Amino acid sequence: MISFLIYKAILVGVIFAITLFVAAYSTYAERKVAAFLQDRIGPDRAGPFGILQPLADGMKFIMKEEIIPNVSNKLLFVLGPSIAMLTALMAGVVIPWGGSLTISGETYTLQIVDLNIGILYVFAVVSIGVYGIMIGGWASNNKFSLLGAIRASAQMISYEIGMGLSIIALIMMTGTLSLREITELQAGGVGSDWNFWNVVYQPVGFLIFLVCAFAECNRTPFDLPECETELVGGYHTEYSSMKLGFYLFAEYINMFVSSAVISTLYFGGYNFPFMHNLGLDQNLITIIGTVVLFGKIGFFIFFFMWIRWTIPRFRYDQLMNLGWKILIPLAVINIFVTGLFGIF
Protein backbone atom coordinates (compact mmCIF):
# COMPACT_ATOMS: atom_id res chain seq x y z
CA MET A 1 0.00 0.00 0.00
CA ILE A 2 2.80 2.41 0.96
CA SER A 3 4.75 1.55 -2.22
CA PHE A 4 1.57 2.19 -4.24
CA LEU A 5 1.11 5.63 -2.62
CA ILE A 6 4.80 6.49 -3.17
CA TYR A 7 4.47 5.44 -6.83
CA LYS A 8 1.35 7.59 -7.31
CA ALA A 9 3.06 10.57 -5.64
CA ILE A 10 6.08 10.18 -7.96
CA LEU A 11 3.78 9.80 -11.00
CA VAL A 12 1.84 12.96 -10.08
CA GLY A 13 5.11 14.89 -9.67
CA VAL A 14 6.55 13.61 -12.97
CA ILE A 15 3.39 14.35 -15.00
CA PHE A 16 3.08 17.78 -13.35
CA ALA A 17 6.73 18.54 -14.21
CA ILE A 18 6.38 17.26 -17.81
CA THR A 19 3.20 19.33 -18.30
CA LEU A 20 4.94 22.51 -17.12
CA PHE A 21 8.05 21.70 -19.19
CA VAL A 22 6.01 21.11 -22.36
CA ALA A 23 3.99 24.30 -21.73
CA ALA A 24 7.19 26.33 -21.22
CA TYR A 25 8.88 24.99 -24.34
CA SER A 26 5.69 25.31 -26.39
CA THR A 27 6.27 29.09 -26.18
CA TYR A 28 9.75 28.55 -27.64
CA ALA A 29 8.41 26.16 -30.29
CA GLU A 30 5.65 28.62 -31.19
CA ARG A 31 8.17 31.38 -31.88
CA LYS A 32 10.48 29.06 -33.82
CA VAL A 33 7.58 27.71 -35.95
CA ALA A 34 6.41 31.29 -36.60
CA ALA A 35 9.96 32.28 -37.56
CA PHE A 36 10.29 29.29 -39.92
CA LEU A 37 6.96 30.03 -41.63
CA GLN A 38 7.90 33.72 -41.99
CA ASP A 39 11.48 33.01 -43.12
CA ARG A 40 13.09 34.40 -39.95
CA ILE A 41 15.45 32.94 -37.35
CA GLY A 42 13.38 33.41 -34.18
CA PRO A 43 14.84 33.43 -30.63
CA ASP A 44 18.63 32.89 -30.81
CA ARG A 45 20.14 34.94 -27.97
CA ALA A 46 19.42 33.01 -24.73
CA GLY A 47 21.62 29.93 -25.01
CA PRO A 48 22.48 27.96 -28.18
CA PHE A 49 19.65 28.33 -30.74
CA GLY A 50 17.73 30.32 -28.11
CA ILE A 51 17.02 27.12 -26.16
CA LEU A 52 17.00 28.95 -22.81
CA GLN A 53 14.43 31.52 -23.98
CA PRO A 54 11.54 30.04 -21.90
CA LEU A 55 13.68 30.31 -18.73
CA ALA A 56 14.49 33.94 -19.57
CA ASP A 57 10.78 34.66 -20.15
CA GLY A 58 9.88 32.95 -16.86
CA MET A 59 12.46 35.00 -14.96
CA LYS A 60 11.14 38.17 -16.59
CA PHE A 61 7.59 37.37 -15.45
CA ILE A 62 8.76 36.69 -11.89
CA MET A 63 10.85 39.89 -11.72
CA LYS A 64 8.11 42.20 -13.04
CA GLU A 65 6.13 44.35 -10.63
CA GLU A 66 2.77 42.98 -9.43
CA ILE A 67 0.18 45.63 -10.34
CA ILE A 68 -3.37 45.33 -8.99
CA PRO A 69 -5.62 48.18 -10.21
CA ASN A 70 -7.22 50.27 -7.44
CA VAL A 71 -10.69 49.94 -8.99
CA SER A 72 -10.50 46.13 -9.30
CA ASN A 73 -12.01 43.48 -7.02
CA LYS A 74 -8.70 42.38 -5.50
CA LEU A 75 -9.74 38.90 -4.31
CA LEU A 76 -11.33 37.90 -7.62
CA PHE A 77 -8.49 39.57 -9.54
CA VAL A 78 -6.07 37.08 -7.97
CA LEU A 79 -8.55 34.17 -8.04
CA GLY A 80 -9.14 34.36 -11.85
CA PRO A 81 -5.66 33.30 -13.07
CA SER A 82 -5.40 30.80 -10.20
CA ILE A 83 -8.57 28.98 -11.36
CA ALA A 84 -7.40 29.06 -15.00
CA MET A 85 -4.05 27.49 -14.08
CA LEU A 86 -5.49 24.94 -11.62
CA THR A 87 -8.16 23.60 -13.98
CA ALA A 88 -5.61 23.36 -16.82
CA LEU A 89 -3.36 21.16 -14.64
CA MET A 90 -6.26 19.03 -13.30
CA ALA A 91 -7.39 17.81 -16.74
CA GLY A 92 -4.32 15.60 -17.25
CA VAL A 93 -5.11 13.40 -14.24
CA VAL A 94 -7.28 10.84 -16.12
CA ILE A 95 -5.20 10.60 -19.33
CA PRO A 96 -3.46 7.20 -19.73
CA TRP A 97 0.17 8.12 -20.49
CA GLY A 98 1.20 4.53 -21.15
CA GLY A 99 0.44 0.85 -20.53
CA SER A 100 1.56 -0.96 -17.37
CA LEU A 101 5.03 -1.51 -15.92
CA THR A 102 5.96 -4.60 -13.89
CA ILE A 103 8.58 -3.80 -11.23
CA SER A 104 9.58 -6.49 -8.67
CA GLY A 105 6.38 -8.43 -9.30
CA GLU A 106 4.18 -5.36 -8.78
CA THR A 107 2.17 -3.94 -11.71
CA TYR A 108 1.94 -0.15 -12.03
CA THR A 109 -0.15 1.70 -14.62
CA LEU A 110 1.06 4.98 -16.11
CA GLN A 111 -2.15 6.81 -15.21
CA ILE A 112 -2.86 8.80 -12.06
CA VAL A 113 -6.56 7.85 -11.81
CA ASP A 114 -8.51 5.51 -14.10
CA LEU A 115 -12.03 6.93 -13.74
CA ASN A 116 -14.86 5.02 -15.42
CA ILE A 117 -16.22 8.47 -16.39
CA GLY A 118 -12.87 9.84 -17.60
CA ILE A 119 -14.27 11.79 -20.58
CA LEU A 120 -16.95 13.36 -18.39
CA TYR A 121 -14.27 14.44 -15.89
CA VAL A 122 -12.21 16.11 -18.64
CA PHE A 123 -15.30 17.99 -19.87
CA ALA A 124 -16.23 19.08 -16.34
CA VAL A 125 -12.74 20.41 -15.57
CA VAL A 126 -12.43 22.19 -18.93
CA SER A 127 -15.85 23.79 -18.35
CA ILE A 128 -14.67 25.23 -15.03
CA GLY A 129 -11.70 26.84 -16.81
CA VAL A 130 -13.99 29.47 -18.36
CA TYR A 131 -14.77 30.75 -14.83
CA GLY A 132 -11.11 31.75 -14.43
CA ILE A 133 -11.29 33.88 -17.58
CA MET A 134 -14.71 35.32 -16.75
CA ILE A 135 -13.80 36.18 -13.14
CA GLY A 136 -10.47 37.74 -14.19
CA GLY A 137 -12.08 39.84 -16.94
CA TRP A 138 -14.90 41.08 -14.69
CA ALA A 139 -12.70 41.72 -11.63
CA SER A 140 -10.35 43.95 -13.70
CA ASN A 141 -13.12 46.60 -13.92
CA ASN A 142 -11.98 47.36 -17.45
CA LYS A 143 -14.31 47.47 -20.47
CA PHE A 144 -11.83 45.73 -22.79
CA SER A 145 -11.26 42.96 -20.23
CA LEU A 146 -15.00 42.49 -19.70
CA LEU A 147 -15.65 42.31 -23.46
CA GLY A 148 -12.90 39.71 -23.79
CA ALA A 149 -14.32 37.69 -20.87
CA ILE A 150 -17.86 37.78 -22.32
CA ARG A 151 -16.52 36.64 -25.69
CA ALA A 152 -14.56 33.83 -24.07
CA SER A 153 -17.50 32.52 -22.05
CA ALA A 154 -19.92 32.71 -25.03
CA GLN A 155 -17.39 31.00 -27.30
CA MET A 156 -16.45 28.21 -24.89
CA ILE A 157 -20.08 27.42 -23.97
CA SER A 158 -21.05 27.35 -27.67
CA TYR A 159 -18.24 25.04 -28.75
CA GLU A 160 -18.51 22.71 -25.73
CA ILE A 161 -21.90 21.60 -27.08
CA GLY A 162 -20.43 20.61 -30.45
CA MET A 163 -17.50 18.92 -28.72
CA GLY A 164 -19.80 16.96 -26.40
CA LEU A 165 -22.01 15.81 -29.27
CA SER A 166 -18.97 14.67 -31.29
CA ILE A 167 -17.87 12.56 -28.31
CA ILE A 168 -21.34 10.96 -27.90
CA ALA A 169 -20.93 9.23 -31.29
CA LEU A 170 -17.56 7.85 -30.13
CA ILE A 171 -19.06 6.65 -26.81
CA MET A 172 -21.90 4.91 -28.73
CA MET A 173 -19.25 3.04 -30.70
CA THR A 174 -16.91 2.12 -27.83
CA GLY A 175 -19.52 1.68 -25.08
CA THR A 176 -17.35 3.24 -22.36
CA LEU A 177 -16.40 6.61 -20.85
CA SER A 178 -13.04 5.38 -19.53
CA LEU A 179 -10.08 6.81 -21.45
CA ARG A 180 -7.98 3.70 -20.75
CA GLU A 181 -10.66 1.34 -22.08
CA ILE A 182 -11.09 3.51 -25.21
CA THR A 183 -7.31 3.35 -25.72
CA GLU A 184 -7.16 -0.42 -25.24
CA LEU A 185 -9.96 -0.93 -27.78
CA GLN A 186 -7.58 0.62 -30.36
CA ALA A 187 -4.67 -1.74 -29.59
CA GLY A 188 -3.43 -3.09 -32.93
CA GLY A 189 -1.93 -6.37 -34.00
CA VAL A 190 -2.09 -8.15 -37.35
CA GLY A 191 -4.52 -10.69 -38.74
CA SER A 192 -7.68 -11.38 -36.74
CA ASP A 193 -6.99 -8.94 -33.89
CA TRP A 194 -6.22 -5.92 -36.10
CA ASN A 195 -7.99 -2.82 -34.74
CA PHE A 196 -8.04 0.49 -36.55
CA TRP A 197 -7.77 3.73 -34.62
CA ASN A 198 -11.07 5.50 -33.91
CA VAL A 199 -10.31 8.25 -36.44
CA VAL A 200 -11.02 5.65 -39.19
CA TYR A 201 -14.51 4.97 -37.79
CA GLN A 202 -15.26 8.54 -36.67
CA PRO A 203 -13.60 10.95 -39.16
CA VAL A 204 -16.41 13.54 -38.92
CA GLY A 205 -16.44 13.33 -35.12
CA PHE A 206 -12.67 13.84 -35.08
CA LEU A 207 -12.87 16.95 -37.29
CA ILE A 208 -15.64 18.46 -35.13
CA PHE A 209 -13.67 17.69 -31.96
CA LEU A 210 -10.50 19.22 -33.45
CA VAL A 211 -12.22 22.48 -34.46
CA CYS A 212 -13.91 22.71 -31.04
CA ALA A 213 -10.54 22.10 -29.34
CA PHE A 214 -9.13 25.15 -31.15
CA ALA A 215 -12.07 27.22 -29.89
CA GLU A 216 -11.79 25.86 -26.32
CA CYS A 217 -8.09 26.75 -26.19
CA ASN A 218 -8.78 30.28 -27.56
CA ARG A 219 -6.34 29.59 -30.39
CA THR A 220 -6.29 31.26 -33.82
CA PRO A 221 -8.59 31.40 -35.78
CA PHE A 222 -10.79 31.42 -32.64
CA ASP A 223 -8.73 33.83 -30.49
CA LEU A 224 -11.51 36.46 -30.36
CA PRO A 225 -11.34 36.83 -26.53
CA GLU A 226 -7.79 38.20 -26.70
CA CYS A 227 -7.61 39.80 -30.16
CA GLU A 228 -5.15 42.67 -29.80
CA THR A 229 -6.53 44.74 -32.69
CA GLU A 230 -9.91 45.23 -30.99
CA LEU A 231 -9.52 44.61 -27.26
CA VAL A 232 -5.94 45.77 -26.46
CA GLY A 233 -5.13 42.44 -24.76
CA GLY A 234 -8.52 40.88 -24.12
CA TYR A 235 -9.46 39.50 -20.71
CA HIS A 236 -5.88 39.82 -19.36
CA THR A 237 -5.36 43.49 -20.36
CA GLU A 238 -4.87 44.62 -16.72
CA TYR A 239 -2.66 41.70 -15.68
CA SER A 240 1.09 41.74 -15.20
CA SER A 241 3.88 39.60 -13.73
CA MET A 242 3.05 36.01 -12.71
CA LYS A 243 -0.73 36.46 -12.89
CA LEU A 244 -0.37 37.23 -16.60
CA GLY A 245 2.09 34.34 -16.79
CA PHE A 246 -0.56 32.00 -15.29
CA TYR A 247 -3.08 32.94 -18.00
CA LEU A 248 -0.56 32.48 -20.81
CA PHE A 249 0.74 29.24 -19.27
CA ALA A 250 -2.80 27.89 -18.84
CA GLU A 251 -3.41 28.37 -22.58
CA TYR A 252 -0.37 26.26 -23.48
CA ILE A 253 -1.21 23.59 -20.87
CA ASN A 254 -4.75 23.40 -22.33
CA MET A 255 -3.18 22.97 -25.77
CA PHE A 256 -1.01 20.12 -24.45
CA VAL A 257 -3.96 18.41 -22.71
CA SER A 258 -6.21 18.86 -25.78
CA SER A 259 -3.53 17.23 -27.95
CA ALA A 260 -3.26 14.35 -25.44
CA VAL A 261 -7.05 13.84 -25.39
CA ILE A 262 -7.26 13.90 -29.23
CA SER A 263 -4.37 11.39 -29.45
CA THR A 264 -6.03 9.13 -26.86
CA LEU A 265 -9.58 9.22 -28.25
CA TYR A 266 -8.91 9.10 -31.98
CA PHE A 267 -5.30 8.07 -32.62
CA GLY A 268 -4.80 5.07 -30.36
CA GLY A 269 -3.09 6.83 -27.46
CA TYR A 270 0.01 4.86 -26.49
CA ASN A 271 -0.76 2.10 -29.04
CA PHE A 272 1.27 1.73 -32.22
CA PRO A 273 1.03 -0.70 -35.17
CA PHE A 274 2.42 -4.24 -34.68
CA MET A 275 3.15 -3.56 -31.00
CA HIS A 276 2.15 -7.13 -30.03
CA ASN A 277 4.10 -8.75 -32.88
CA LEU A 278 7.57 -7.37 -32.09
CA GLY A 279 8.27 -10.01 -29.42
CA LEU A 280 9.59 -7.38 -27.01
CA ASP A 281 9.37 -7.29 -23.20
CA GLN A 282 6.10 -5.75 -21.93
CA ASN A 283 7.94 -3.01 -20.00
CA LEU A 284 9.85 -2.02 -23.15
CA ILE A 285 6.62 -1.93 -25.19
CA THR A 286 5.09 0.32 -22.50
CA ILE A 287 8.04 2.75 -22.66
CA ILE A 288 7.97 2.80 -26.50
CA GLY A 289 4.18 3.37 -26.33
CA THR A 290 4.64 6.38 -24.03
CA VAL A 291 7.25 7.85 -26.41
CA VAL A 292 4.85 7.26 -29.34
CA LEU A 293 2.03 9.02 -27.43
CA PHE A 294 4.24 12.06 -26.82
CA GLY A 295 5.17 12.00 -30.51
CA LYS A 296 1.47 12.20 -31.43
CA ILE A 297 0.96 15.00 -28.89
CA GLY A 298 3.95 16.87 -30.34
CA PHE A 299 2.45 16.63 -33.83
CA PHE A 300 -0.87 18.10 -32.69
CA ILE A 301 0.87 20.92 -30.78
CA PHE A 302 2.77 21.72 -33.99
CA PHE A 303 -0.56 21.59 -35.87
CA PHE A 304 -2.05 24.15 -33.44
CA MET A 305 0.91 26.45 -34.15
CA TRP A 306 0.87 25.84 -37.89
CA ILE A 307 -2.81 26.87 -38.09
CA ARG A 308 -2.11 29.98 -35.99
CA TRP A 309 0.35 31.39 -38.51
CA THR A 310 -1.60 30.28 -41.59
CA ILE A 311 -5.29 31.13 -41.11
CA PRO A 312 -6.61 34.64 -40.29
CA ARG A 313 -8.99 35.32 -37.39
CA PHE A 314 -12.76 34.88 -37.83
CA ARG A 315 -15.26 37.67 -37.27
CA TYR A 316 -17.41 37.10 -34.19
CA ASP A 317 -20.60 36.40 -36.18
CA GLN A 318 -18.69 33.86 -38.31
CA LEU A 319 -17.42 32.20 -35.13
CA MET A 320 -20.97 31.81 -33.75
CA ASN A 321 -22.41 30.71 -37.10
CA LEU A 322 -19.77 27.99 -37.40
CA GLY A 323 -20.50 26.72 -33.88
CA TRP A 324 -24.32 26.81 -33.87
CA LYS A 325 -25.29 26.42 -37.54
CA ILE A 326 -22.63 24.03 -38.85
CA LEU A 327 -20.79 22.04 -36.14
CA ILE A 328 -23.75 21.24 -33.85
CA PRO A 329 -26.10 20.05 -36.69
CA LEU A 330 -23.19 18.10 -38.20
CA ALA A 331 -22.48 16.44 -34.83
CA VAL A 332 -26.18 15.48 -34.45
CA ILE A 333 -26.21 13.95 -37.97
CA ASN A 334 -23.00 12.08 -37.07
CA ILE A 335 -24.75 10.61 -34.00
CA PHE A 336 -27.68 9.41 -36.14
CA VAL A 337 -25.36 7.87 -38.75
CA THR A 338 -23.31 6.13 -36.01
CA GLY A 339 -26.58 4.79 -34.52
CA LEU A 340 -27.69 3.45 -37.91
CA PHE A 341 -24.37 1.69 -38.45
CA GLY A 342 -24.65 0.28 -34.93
CA ILE A 343 -28.07 -1.22 -35.75
CA PHE A 344 -26.94 -2.84 -38.99
Q: Per the domain annotation, does 58 fall within a domain? A: no
The set of residues, in sequence order, having a beta carbon less than 8 Å from that of 313 and lying 6+ positions away, is 220, 221, 222, 223, 224, 227
Question: What is the pLDDT, as a whole number, of residue 334?
Answer: 94
Question: What is the pLDDT, as a whole number, of residue 297?
Answer: 94
The model's confidence at residue 304, banded by pLDDT at 50, 70 and 90, is very high
Q: Per the domain annotation, does 317 fall within a domain? A: yes
33 versus 342: the higher-pLDDT residue is 33
Q: What is the mean pLDDT of the chain?
A: 86
Query: Please, which residues bridge with residue 107 across strands?
Result: 102
Cβ atoms of residues 168 and 335 within 8 Å? yes
Q: For residue 221, say if its preceding peptide bond is cis, omega within 30 degrees of 0.
A: yes
Q: Is the pLDDT of residue 308 over 60?
A: yes
2 versus 168: the higher-pLDDT residue is 168
Percent of the chain with pLDDT over 70: 95
Question: What is the pLDDT, as a whole number, of residue 192?
Answer: 45
Domain that holds residue 335: 67-101+111-343
Find the mean pLDDT for residues 88-116.
86
Q: Per the domain annotation, does 205 fall within a domain? A: yes
Give me the half-sphere count of Cα atoms (radius 13 Å) on the Cβ side of residue 334.
27
Count the domains in the chain. Answer: 1
Q: Per the domain annotation, does 299 fall within a domain? A: yes
The model's confidence at residue 143, banded by pLDDT at 50, 70 and 90, is confident
Give me the half-sphere count of Cα atoms (radius 13 Å) on the Cβ side of residue 256.
29
Find the mean pLDDT for residues 19-27.
91
> What's the rounded Cα separation, in Å, for the pair 254 and 152?
14
The model's confidence at residue 191, banded by pLDDT at 50, 70 and 90, is very low
Cα separation values, 46 from 20, 49, 245, Å: 19, 8, 19
Q: Is the pLDDT of residue 50 over 50?
A: yes
Looking at mean pLDDT, say which of 124-138, 199-213, 308-322 comes out highest. Answer: 199-213
Q: At what angle do helices 241-266 and 203-216 cross, to 10 degrees?
A: 180
Q: Per the domain annotation, does 4 fall within a domain? A: no
Give the chain's length: 344
Cβ atoms of residues 50 and 43 within 8 Å? yes
Q: Per the domain annotation, does 130 fall within a domain? A: yes
The model's confidence at residue 194, banded by pLDDT at 50, 70 and 90, is low
Q: Per the domain annotation, does 8 fall within a domain? A: no
Nearest to 260 by CA among 131, 116, 252: 252
> What's the rounded Cα separation, in Å, for the pair 236 and 27?
18
> What's the rounded Cα separation, in Å, for the pair 248 and 217?
11
Find the mean pLDDT for residues 77-89.
89
pTM of the model: 0.91
CA angle 215–218–224, rounded 5-degree value: 95
Q: Per the domain annotation, does 155 fall within a domain? A: yes
Cβ atoms of residues 289 and 275 within 8 Å? yes
Query: Among 44-48, 64-68, 340-344, which stretch is predicted with the lowest mean pLDDT?
Result: 340-344
The model's confidence at residue 164, banded by pLDDT at 50, 70 and 90, is very high
Question: What is the pLDDT, as a whole number, of residue 222?
Answer: 81
Question: What is the pLDDT, as a whole number, of residue 344?
Answer: 64
